[in-house]
Structure formats: C-alpha cells, structure tokens
Amino acid sequence: MKITRVQTFPLFLSREDADDSYAGDTGVAHRGYVIRPPWRSLYSPGYETLLVKIETDEGLVGWGEALAPVAPEVVAAVVDHLLAPLILGEDPRSVRTLWHRMTESMRERGHLTGHQADAMAAVDIALWDLWGHATGLSVSELAGGRFAEILPTYVSGIRGNDDAERVDKATAFVESGVRRIKLHLGTDIRTDLATYDAIRAVHPDLDLALDAHWTYRLGEAKALGRELDDRRAWFFEAPLAPEDVEGHRDLAASLATPIAIGEAMRSRFEFTDWLARRAVGLTQPDIGRTGITEGLAIAAVADAFHAQVAPHHSAAFGLAMAAGVHVAASATSLLAFEYQPFTLPVANLILTTPLEVRPDGGFIVPTGPGLGVTVDEAAVAQFVRR
C-alpha cells in the first residue's frame, strides 16, 4: 500500500454558521482576528481549522486535523510544501517511521513547535486513521487497548454575562449529573474568586478548577493559589506566562492545588523538562497540536513522573476531538478529558455520525476503524477557504 495523494482543507465557519464563537462577545477586532482581554492570544471571530486527507493506491483514505484556530492556511502550506513530499509513495502503516522522518526534517524549521508541529499533528492523525482502516482496528486498539469505554470528563467553560447567569448554567449541568467543571477566568484575583465561589456553591460535591489563561504574575498567582488551596480546588491551569518554567516550578512548590499545563506544548521533550523540574502537576497535551504518536509518548512520560493526564481540547473540530478521545482512552494515568459543550456541535458539523457525550458528561469512545468517525465531505467543501 502506498500513499498517492495528500490534500489540505483550511476551514472557516462564521459565527452564524457555528451559532457560536470561542472569542465571545468581548473581543477586540485585530486585523480580521480578535483579542479577548484579559487573554492575550488571537482568536477567530468564528471557527477555523485545518483538515488533511491522505489517499492510497488501494482506495483507503485517512483524515486528520490540526488545532489551527487562526490562519489554517499557514499550516496547510507547511503540509503541502514540506510534509506531503516526505510521505508520498510511502506505506501509510509505517506511522512511527514517517513521524520520525517528519520531525527530523523540521529540526531547523521550528522542529516540534509552532505551525510546523501543528502540521505534523494533522498528518500523523490522518496516518493513524488510515492505519486503522487498513487493519479494521480503532486508534485506541492500535495503541494497545482502551482503559475505558466511556471517558471521565469535565465541563470546560461556563458562559454568562455575570455570575448569576453562570450559576444558572452550572446548575443545569449539575442537575444532569456533571460533577466536574473548569472555569475560564484570569481577570483579577477578586473577580476570579467571586466567580469561583458562586459556582462552587452550586453543589457540595462539585470538583472545580480555574483556568487563568496565562494572565497572572508570580506573586498574584501565589496569592490566588493560596485561596484555591483553602477552597480545595481541583486544579489551577495556566497561571503564568507559558515561557516561565521556573515561575511555575516555584508556584507548584508553594501550593497544594495541582498546577495544570500543556496546551501550549507540542512534544515529549517540553513535557519532560517541565516534569523533571516539578513545574507541572497535571499534564494537558492537545492532540490537535501533538498528533497521536507524540501524544501517546507524552502520556507515557507523564506516567513515568507519576503525573496524571487530562488532554486539552478547545476550538478544533471532530477529527482532532476523536483523536484526543482515543489517546485519552489509551492513557494509563488519565484524570479526565476536556469537554466544551459549546464546541461539540461545531465539531460534529463535519461528521456524518456525531461524537457522543452522555448527559453526565461522559465521552463515548468511538469503536469503528481508525478514528471511528466518518467525514462529511460535502460539509467540508462548504466551509473550505482558499
């Protein structure tokens, strides 16, 4: 079996198409994209992603996706011009060999970071999907088996104009059986704690985490972290700038609440560095940025340091989500998989059969070949942007 064609599909869904936007209502326009204070990163005014389709001479097809929430055309160019020539004519079942070839080729081109890594992740996911279709096995079976058929999850993000609205929405989730929630905050200590306390009061058995989106300085993060310790918070995510490894190490050493890090990282080498320095207590690789091969390696490294894994998932669509679910199901030290109710309907727009989440938030692991999902190519064509 040989790879005969690699195609890229940069997708854009407007806010109206998706009936939602990860940027929210408070974003400030910035040359076609949005910055949502106090968060620093660019966001799309709608939803963007990159899909990759790999075809073979035997008629089998594999699909992958990069978490490319802004400018997916950039990631597509890396695939088209740099990665596709490396894998054309090769056996798609040689996933580890091809992953090694791609990573070695990028050593002076960004190596395992940035858009290069995102591009490799999309190709890698497509190769695993193709391998699964060639064997009839799911990705998690190819990875050695599943530890769970239904993944523990947490609801990520309780939206609302004020805490009263957030409490109403959190209450509805709790009434459906949800007992784990992560808040997307990072405004200031007083405001964050007010929101945290309001949601925490919804149910006595609620596990509640706080994501600060990299907004605090070390002293502020320590002050907030001590308050979270007093409240027995579930975890404290992305408290400091992502470049500040030593600051995170200092913070982690001073708090009982686990420090959760990972969405900005893309390789086992980055995670090993942070874990060795005890700068992270809960690892959060995003498979749309790491790919499946590297994601499984990251989970193994975390396990070697006795740290749990809670894979990140935000604005990617159904293929990256399915890949993340399979890696999570294969991880020996899984804590939970991130579930954003607002992104699930968007993720399912490009699938002929939807990914499923139970009312209590449990993610059902697809059991079909490869990723276990089927792409709706008509939907993909509708949203392609060139």
H-helix or E-strand spanning residue 246: helix 245-254
- Enumerate the domain spans of the chain: 3-141+378-383, 144-371
| Closest to 140 (Cα-Cα) out of 319, 369, 344, 318 | 369
Cβ atoms of residues 317 and 373 within 8 Å: no
CA distance 83 to 333: 32
Over its C-alpha atoms, the chain yields an Rg (Å, rounded) of: 20
Determine the topology of domain 144-371 in CATH: TIM Barrel (3.20.20)
Cβ-contact 289, 316 below 8 angstroms: no
H-only helix segments in 12-138: 15-18, 72-78, 84-87, 95-105, 114-135
**C-alpha to C-alpha distances, 106 to 109, 115, 244, nearest whole angstrom:** 5, 11, 25
| Angle, alpha carbons 336-339-341 (nearest 5°) | 160
Candidates 242, 240, 267, 245; CA nearest to 113 is 267
pTM score, two decimals?
A: 0.95
The answer to whether the CB of 14 falls within 8 A of the CB of 46 is yes
Which string of DSSP letters, residue by residue, matches 114-180?
A: HHHHHHHHHHHHHHHHHHHHHHT-BHHHHTT--S-SEE-EEEE----SSHHHHHHHHHHHHHTT--E
3 state SS of 287: helix
How many Cβ atoms are within 10 Å of 204's Cβ, its own excluded? 6
Q: What is the pLDDT along the chain (386 residues), one digit of tens a residue?
A: 999 999 999 999 887 777 665 555 656 665 678 777 777 787 787 889 999 999 999 999 999 999 998 899 999 999 999 999 999 999 999 999 999 999 999 888 777 888 999 999 999 999 999 999 999 999 999 999 999 999 999 999 998 999 999 999 999 999 999 999 999 999 999 999 999 999 999 999 999 999 999 999 999 999 999 999 999 999 999 999 999 999 999 999 999 999 999 999 999 999 999 999 999 999 999 999 999 999 999 999 999 999 999 999 988 899 999 999 999 999 999 999 999 998 899 999 999 989 999 988 899 999 999 999 999 999 999 999 86
Separation between Cα atoms, residue 330 and residue 142, nearest integer Å: 10
Quickly name the fold that domain 3-141+378-383 has. Answer: Enolase-like; domain 1 (3.30.390)
